[in-house]
Structure 1
Amino acid sequence: MGGRAKAIVVMGPSGVGKTTTAMVLAARLGWPYAEGDDFHPLENIAKMSAGIPLQDADREPWLAAIRDWIDEQARGGASVVVTCSALKRRYRDILRQADVDLCFLFLAADQLLVGERVARRAGHYMPPSLLASQFGDLEPLQADEPGIFVTVDKAPEAVAEEALLRLAERGWAVKPV
């Protein structure tokens, strides 16, 4: 790929469409994709499945594992798309330690809409009861954090298209394959 590797971290609370949007972006860009939930240790999954919100100490090894995966891909010359709730700035700071040009794609939606989505979702360990804690923990991107904001009130393809346009406006030369 030439130049420094890039990483797009698709972020936001559970149910905003991170996985769907990230998969569309990765397919459009031809970049490897990783589901951030797959990096959770079993202990975290057990807590969330039981309706117990994760604490910062629970999240640190998970965030480090995502960061390390980004670095591993970059060492191989690959830019990537990865999902991660990245709810707090301190979590995003861990991800920003990766040796890449990183941009957060913050997917925003009304909590009521997200609650409806989560309630309909099958086969996921994140129960709707934890949604309020996610929105409570959410710290929006700050001006000094590399990121863009996209609302998810449209189809995932349109969300991905808007993200690609906003990335281009920020000087990211991301060209769909």
Structure 2
Amino acid sequence: MIILVMGVSGSGKSTIGQLLAESLQWQFYDADDFHSPESIAKMSKNIPLQDSDRMPWLMQLQKAIDHWLETQNNVVLACSALKDSYRIMLWRDPQQMRLVYLKGPEKLIQQRLQSRYNHFMSADLLDTQLDILEEPKTALYVDISDSPLEIVDQIKTYLQLQP
């Protein structure tokens, strides 16, 4: 099974994804690690990515998801997946995938981004992410105002998952 944890930068995808994977004894992957050096350089310079920049990234993720499903690996994937079209590309097997959307107040996300160091995605790009965000119609919506451990417990309870 694959749990795709989505949301804008600063919503806690990596933190929640790692904690969830650890608690389930699953593998964790961060979609940021699949970006090309060119895309990371753009974002580091506060240049928002275009769909043409994202396409190779999405194709790499699609390939990884296919592999995980084929080898029956249990994976938590932290991925922004901001547009419905991106999620459609990544959604390989509805029986083996679950979508968790981390949602919260813009002010809280902005505060998180401003206090974050050593990440290529700056707080200046949050508006561009919010502009293109298409909230999923079918997903587990989770309020990011709760503590990370509470969020992980909510996800596990809702999805009826145990290690």
Q: Tell me if both proteins adopt one fold, taking TM over 0.5 as the criterion.
A: yes
Shift of 1:97: 2.9
Contact kept in structure 2, 1:7 and 1:103, CA below 8 Å = yes
Q: Secondary structure at the match of 2:87?
A: helix
Cα distance in 2 for partners of 1:75, 1:124 equals 32
Q: Secondary structure at the match of 2:141?
A: strand
Q: Secondary structure at the match of 1:103?
A: strand
Shift of 1:130: 0.3
Shift of 1:105: 0.6
Q: Secondary structure at the match of 1:14?
A: coil
Shift of 1:140: 0.6
Contact kept in structure 2, 1:71 and 1:99, CA below 8 Å = no
1:113-142 alpha-carbon deviations (Å, 9 max, x no partner): 100100000000001110001111111111
Q: Secondary structure at the match of 1:15?
A: coil
Match of 1:84 in 2: 79
Which of 150, 153, 156 is matched with 1:161 structurally?
153
Shift of 1:69: 1.2
List aligned pairs for 1:90-101, cutoff 5 A: 90-97=85-92, 101=96
Cα distance in 1 for partners of 2:95, 2:48 equals 30
Match of 1:3 in 2: none
1:149 aligns with 2:144: no
Instruction: Tell me the number of residue pairs that the alignment of Structure 1 and Structure 2 aligns.
Output: 163
CA RMSD after TM alignment: 1.3
List aligned pairs for 1:5-16, cutoff 5 A: 6-16=1-11
Q: Percent identity?
A: 36
- 21 and 158 in structure 1: CA distance in 2 versus 1, 3 angstrom threshold: same
Contact kept in structure 1, 2:65 and 2:92, CA below 8 Å = no
What amino acid is aligned across from residue 32 of structure 1 in structure 2? Q
What amino acid is aligned across from residue 50 of structure 1 in structure 2? K
Q: Secondary structure at the match of 1:81?
A: strand
Cα distance in 1 for partners of 2:95, 2:32 equals 21
- 14 and 155 in structure 1: CA distance in 2 versus 1, 3 angstrom threshold: same
Q: Secondary structure at the match of 1:136?
A: helix
Shift of 1:111: 0.8
Contact kept in structure 1, 2:69 and 2:96, CA below 8 Å = no
- 44 and 80 in structure 1: CA distance in 2 versus 1, 3 angstrom threshold: same
Cα distance in 1 for partners of 2:150, 2:62 equals 28
- 78 and 118 in structure 1: CA distance in 2 versus 1, 3 angstrom threshold: same
What TM-score does the superposition give when structure 1 sets the normalisation length? 0.88
What TM-score does the superposition give when structure 2 sets the normalisation length? 0.95
